[in-house]
Structure 1
Amino acid sequence: MQLVRGLHNLRPQHRGCVATIGNFDGVHRGHQAILARLRERAAELDLPSCVVIFEPQPREFFAPDTAPPRLARLRDKVELLRAEGVDRVLCLSFNQRFSQLSATEFVETIVLDGLGVKHLEVGDDFRFGHDRSGDFDFLQRAGAAHGFTVEAAQTVEIDGLRVSSTKVRKALASADFDLAEQLLGRPFAISGRVLHGQKLARQLGTPTANVQLKRRRVPLSGVYLTSTLIDGQVWPGVANIGVRPTVAGDGSAHLEVHLLDFAGDLYGRRLTVVFHQKLRDEQRFASLEALKTAINADVAAARAHWHGQPLTKSLK
């Protein structure tokens, strides 16, 4: 799969494709249905498939402090799209200039001049252009005028529940990881590189891996039972994700993972942390000793949960 960053990096060979446009946050089962149809149409027309995404996502640009938390950072989103068999991803910088494009300019700049789209697959609620003035009907009229076809993807429902990124966030916020997995088509996980931290957890007797989040907000907060993928093996453990209120910090979210009975240096390595069950909310403790007691209780709960299972096991 090819990743193209920005319209300025498009070349003549990129023109002529079957495309879809959207945030694709989480690449959930609704997105997967759109991508499946995209692959089918691309095969029928013998053209490459292209997914157009934005960075930052539009709501993050307009209201960064209140935008929904990311389900997947850009790197993970690209990898998920790769796994869905997409040929090309065009990542557009969503900035002030881009936000001012009218619906007509959006179609001319991206769909026609940029990509030479022959068929466009979009979600049934897709809106675009300044003040969200463009919609499916607008695209159909533009397609009829300029020679490309447009198809609206059908809504995907699970047990009567419409699959959406919002529904996934709500499931995660309520710690319903079974529902989140149904909506995503896979367990919810966060990937990132291990950075050097304050090493406070090590001083408290429970060393943790400080996993880089690279996002303003996260969809989880609290202490969770987790499993972490390292070199093809899964290590059960416990993780805290939040602002660490007992310890003076920068107010941003951090992910700290303790792996049961793991010994080794993880600094600089990328980990994938899967969340299984919530143990408790994040809370402020009166002292570091009280925090240490709570952490020990969290580790004991993790051991009890994994009791009778091998602490390491290869992925099948």
Structure 2
Amino acid sequence: MELLRGIHNIKTAHQGCVLSIGNFDGVHLGHKAVLARLLVEAKRLQVPATVLTFEPQPEELFAGKNAPARLSRLRDKFVQLEKLGLDRLLCVSFTHKFANLSAQDFIEELLIKKLGVKFLVIGDDFHFGYQRRGDFELLKQAGEKYGFEVVDTKSLLQQEHRISSSRVRDALASGDLQQAALMLGRKYSITGRVVHGQKLGRTIGVPTANLLLKRRVSPVSGVFVVSVLGIADKVYQGVANIGQRPTVNGVRQQLEVHIFDFNSDLYGLQLEVVLEDKIRDEVRFDSFAALKIQIDKDIRQAREWHLLNEKI
């Protein structure tokens, strides 16, 4: 799948596509319903299936620290979208200047002149342009004028509830990993590069791989049973803490994963940490010694979980 970073990188060769627009945060089953239609039309019209998304996500620009927790970074979205068989991901820098672009200019300058859209698939709640004045009806009118079809894909329903990124976010925040997985169509995971940490775990015989959470707010926090991918072709078992590490006066959100029966150098590797089950919330302990006692309990509980849930 081709990645285009910025409108300025759209070339003449990129003219002509079927397109869907949105955050696609988490790439959940609702998104997949939209993209399934996109792929059908791409095959019919013999043009690339393209997704347009934004960095930062619009709410992150407008709400700042009060923006909702992000389910997936751009890299995560790329991986999931590529698995679906899409041809191209266009990532537009969402700035105040771009946000002030009128809905009409968005259609004419980007959709028509730059992309040459032949077919547009959008979710039923999609709005765009200055003050979110653009909607399905405006796109439909533009389609009649410029010769492209617009389809409003009704949200996929699950137990009569709409699948959305906010519902996935709520499930993760409450520790309901099973419900989140049902809406995502897969277990929730976090990816990141291993960086150097304080190495406090080594002092108590519990070495950890540290992954910085490159997002403003994490959708999950606490201690989890995890599986770890990205080390050769093997799946490792472990336990992870996601949060600010209050007992050791942590100031930034971080994922620390202790991989069972493993003690090699992982610095620089890109790991995927799959959340299997939540053990407990993150809490502040009175001492590092008290934290170590709890960590030992967490490790035993995580090992027991993996033992009971190993595939036969």
Q: TM-score, normalised by structure 1?
A: 0.95
The corresponding residue for 2:203 is: 203
**Alpha-carbon distance in structure 2 between the residues aligned to 1:263 and 1:65:** 37
The corresponding residue for 1:214 is: 214
Contact 2:207/2:263 (8 A) holds in 1: no
Contact 1:216/1:252 (8 A) holds in 2: no
The corresponding residue for 1:236 is: 237
**Alpha-carbon distance in structure 2 between the residues aligned to 1:75 and 1:303:** 30
Percent identity between the two aligned chains: 52
**Alpha-carbon distance in structure 1 between the residues aligned to 2:176 and 2:308:** 24
1:231-281 per-residue CA deviation (whole Å, 9 max, x = no partner) reads: 2211111100001111123x2210000111112111111111110111111
The corresponding residue for 1:99 is: 99
Is the counterpart of residue 307 in structure 1 residue 307 in structure 2? yes
**Alpha-carbon distance in structure 1 between the residues aligned to 2:309 and 2:179:** 24
What is the Cα deviation at residue 309 of structure 1? 6.9
Contact 1:224/1:240 (8 A) holds in 2: yes
For 1:105-120, list aligned pairs within 5 A: 105-120=105-120
**Alpha-carbon distance in structure 1 between the residues aligned to 2:202 and 2:146:** 63
**Alpha-carbon distance in structure 2 between the residues aligned to 1:42 and 1:268:** 38
Contact 1:49/1:88 (8 A) holds in 2: yes
Please say which of residues 211-220 and 193-202 is displaced more in the overlay. 211-220
What is the Cα deviation at residue 308 of structure 1? 5.9
The corresponding residue for 1:285 is: 285
Is the counterpart of residue 247 in structure 1 residue 228 in structure 2? no
**Alpha-carbon distance in structure 2 between the residues aligned to 1:217 and 1:253:** 8
Q: Secondary structure at the match of 2:106?
A: helix
**Alpha-carbon distance in structure 2 between the residues aligned to 1:309 and 1:124:** 39
Cα distance change of structure 1 residues 308 and 88 upon mapping to structure 2, 3 Å threshold: closer
Is the counterpart of residue 148 in structure 1 residue 148 in structure 2? yes
**Alpha-carbon distance in structure 2 between the residues aligned to 1:105 and 1:265:** 51
Q: Secondary structure at the match of 1:306?
A: helix
The corresponding residue for 2:223 is: 223
**Alpha-carbon distance in structure 2 between the residues aligned to 1:54 and 1:272:** 23
Cα distance change of structure 1 residues 202 and 23 upon mapping to structure 2, 3 Å threshold: same
For 1:44-59, list aligned pairs within 5 A: 44-59=44-59
Contact 2:212/2:253 (8 A) holds in 1: no
Moved over 4 A (4+): none
The corresponding residue for 1:273 is: 273
Count the aligned residue pairs: 311
Q: TM-score, normalised by structure 2?
A: 0.97
For 1:175-214, list aligned pairs within 5 A: 175-214=175-214
**Alpha-carbon distance in structure 1 between the residues aligned to 2:90 and 2:287:** 49
**Alpha-carbon distance in structure 2 between the residues aligned to 1:207 and 1:100:** 49
What is the Cα deviation at residue 284 of structure 1? 0.8
Structure 2 regions of 5+ residues with no counterpart?
none
1:101-133 per-residue CA deviation (whole Å, 9 max, x = no partner) reads: 111111112111110101100001000011111
Contact 1:2/1:89 (8 A) holds in 2: yes
Structure 1 regions of 5+ residues with no counterpart?
none
**Alpha-carbon distance in structure 1 between the residues aligned to 2:288 and 2:109:** 56
